[in-house]
Amino acid sequence: MWLETAHVSGVTVVALGRREGGNVRVCRLLVVLGMTIGLVSVGAAASAEPVADHELPFPCGQSWTGTTRSSHSPDKRAIDFNRPDDLGDPVVASAPGVVLTADTVDDSGYGRWVLLDHGNGERSLYAHLKAVFVTSGQRIDLGQQLGKVGSTGNSTGPHLHYEQKQLDTVVWPWFSGVAFTFGSTLPSANCADVPLAANWVRGAAAEPTVFRRRTPARFLFRKPGGGQGARRLGASTDEPVVGDWDGSGHANPGRFRPSSRAFLLKTPAGRVSFRFGLRTDKPVAGDWDGDGSWEVGVWRSSAASFLLRRADGTVSTVVLGATDELPVTGDWDGDGVTDLGTFDPDTATFTLRRVDASGTTWLASVVFGEPGQLPVAGDWDGNGTTDLGTWDRATSTFHQRRAPEPTAPARTRTSVRHGAG
């Protein structure tokens, strides 16, 4: 994609186009008369498309208008996003990354703001937030809520100030593989799936599952005999959690809502809701005491710790992993008690923890998958021991590792396509 400007008799003509093979195809001509609010001729070519695949920093399907002005600080390639009555609306990650800054104090021009690192020197910035839902060092997925639209700092009204950056330089923003046109209104295609695994139906094996970030949200699972099943619960900005809440032998859906710190667990008999954790936490689930019914917990990245909540409300803490890792849970030794683990997406390394009958804690590392993939754990073969897996967003593929136990050599490796990136 390229952008060029020309000045003819006081009129500015802006051409947006795409190079296709050896030919140039003009996609859009924009005529600017004098000063235009929202649409600014920057007098330079748009920057190259980033490596990270960015979507609008708002939930799936919402429409937002992005503007700028010649005096926009720190650069007129920064976007001010608005829609009617937008104060308090969710702001989500435009691409996966690690939090470099999560400023929760309104003491700067940006007010409360978040800066994400997407690798390759690419970053995105979200400013003037009413509230921040993440912490520094935390690994963030596409579509995960970062905070709420506000008017903090040097702001004269509610909006999201957004930048795409190469290190400290603001660059031309791209969304859905297209250079952004300032002044345009676009629907958000930030509709990412979240990979999971759970035993929803007959048999003992877990089914590949995704939580589809829509409103209402849905858990979509691959049926053993083919086809797709669904369970509906939650909204696009919720964090999914699944478990056997009633001890029936099959999974039920749940969600954690960061804004209210509220869990909602659904069973055929009804729903249970309660508050637990912080809005920066990530939910986990497992049978912590081996009684057949699952409980919930949270992974607190700022402390690299699991906080496990039992049915009676008591909480135990387990320190494991590093701040920028992702949590995994499973029964690594087949004793009926859920164990803990973490996954480092940079090295595709699982760190698994189990406690034996004598109370001795064991740690093991298993390398599986490719850097950048997301971790999944499920009993793929139904033998009572949880297996490891990863999900590749680019190909919507689950990669399943089957072994007598996770730390043993793999017997088979299977790839299953399910979900949408």
Give the tens place of pLDDT for each residue, 286-338.
Answer: 999 999 999 999 999 999 999 999 989 999 999 999 999 999 999 999 999 99
Which tens digit of pLDDT belongs to each residue from 358-394? 999 999 999 999 999 999 999 999 999 999 999 999 9
Q: What angle do CA 55, 57, 60 make, to 5 degrees?
A: 70
Q: Output the pLDDT for position 86.
A: 98
pLDDT band at 269 (very low <50, low <70, confident <90, very high): very high
* Cβ(66)–Cβ(57) below 8 Å: no
Residues 6 or more apart from 91 whose CB is under 8 A from it?
Answer: 57, 58, 126, 129, 145, 146, 147, 148, 149, 160
Domain extents in the chain: 36-187, 193-208+223-228+279-417
- For 77: left if phi > 0, alpha if psi spans -120 to 50, otherwise beta; the answer is alpha
The CATH number assigned to the domain with range 36-187 reads 2.70.70.10
Residue type, 398: F
pLDDT band at 210 (very low <50, low <70, confident <90, very high): very high
CA distance between the termini of the chain: 23
Token pair in block for residue 376 = 């999944």
Q: What is the largest CA-CA distance in the chain?
A: 86
pLDDT band at 4 (very low <50, low <70, confident <90, very high): very low
Q: What's the mean pLDDT in 69-97?
A: 97
The pTM of this model reads 0.88
Q: Which DSSP helix (H) or strand (E) runs through 308? A: strand 305-309
Give the closest residue to 153 by CA, choosing from 114, 95, 99.
114
Give the closest residue to 235 by CA, choosing from 201, 264, 269.
264
Give the closest residue to 386 by CA, choosing from 371, 407, 415.
407
Asked whether residue 8 carries a pLDDT value surpassing 90, the answer given is no
Q: Output the pLDDT for position 41.
A: 47
Token pair in block for residue 257 = 């809502």
Give the closest residue to 112 by CA, choosing from 77, 158, 72.
158
Neighbours of 318 (CB within 10 A): 16
Q: What angle do CA 271, 272, 273 make, to 5 degrees?
A: 120
Asked whether residue 30 carries a pLDDT value surpassing 80, the answer given is no
* Cβ(338)–Cβ(331) below 8 Å: yes
Q: Output the pLDDT for position 47.
A: 75
Which tens digit of pLDDT belongs to each residue from 114-124? 999 999 999 99
* Cβ(343)–Cβ(356) below 8 Å: no
Asked whether residue 1 carries a pLDDT value surpassing 80, the answer given is no
Give the closest residue to 242 by CA, choosing from 220, 224, 258.
220
Token pair in block for residue 186 = 């676009």
Neighbours of 76 (CB within 10 A): 17
Distance of alpha carbon 371 from alpha carbon 116, whole angstroms: 18
Give the closest residue to 160 by CA, choosing from 70, 57, 236.
57
Asked whether residue 15 carries a pLDDT value surpassing 70, the answer given is no
Give the closest residue to 385 by CA, choosing from 327, 339, 326, 325.
339
For residue 150, the 8-state DSSP code is: B
What pairs with residue 240 in β-bridges? 255
Give the closest residue to 324 by CA, choosing from 354, 353, 298, 299.
299
Q: What's the mean pLDDT in 268-293?
A: 97
Distance of alpha carbon 205 from alpha carbon 223, whole angstroms: 11
Task: Give the total residue count for the chain.
Answer: 421
